[in-house]
Structure 1
Amino acid sequence: MAKCDICGKGISTGIKLSHSHIRTKRTWSPNVQKVRALVNGAPKKINVCTRCLRSGKVQRAI
């Protein structure tokens, strides 16, 4: 569900390692926001990660 429509960044998986060395699976989700942006000149709601918003890859619709 958490996937950026601009860069394609999605959920990454890994292993949580406790002090007693018990390994369990876990996931990291990107910070994805649903924003109104201009897509081909028309406003549309898209899912965008905050890195794409900060870097100016998305022009927000007002």
Structure 2
Amino acid sequence: MARRCDVCGKGPLSGNLISHAHNVSRRKFYPNLHSVKTVEADGTVVRKKVCAKCLKAGKVKKA
């Protein structure tokens, strides 16, 4: 299961987890994805994984 937005293509980013003692280890930042039923241009209903930014911007039409 890919952690990627079906609308804008936003995916996971990598970064560092830094403790108070400055011990550094790698970590991932995942997008805020939601599984939403959307209406396509031809009228069919499809379930997509959409990030919260696309939902707020109104880039998808919910069924």
Unaligned runs of 5+ in 1: none
Percentage identity across aligned positions? 38
Aligned residues: 61
> 1:57 matched to which residue of 2?
59
- Would you identify which runs of 4 or more consecutive aligned residues in structure 1 move more than 6 Å? none
Report the TM-score, using the length of structure 1 for normalisation: 0.91
Unpaired segments ≥5 residues, structure 2? none
| Amino acid paired to 1:37 | T
TM-score, normalised by the number of residues in structure 2? 0.90
Q: How does 1:18-37 map to 2 (within 5 A)?
A: 18-37=19-38
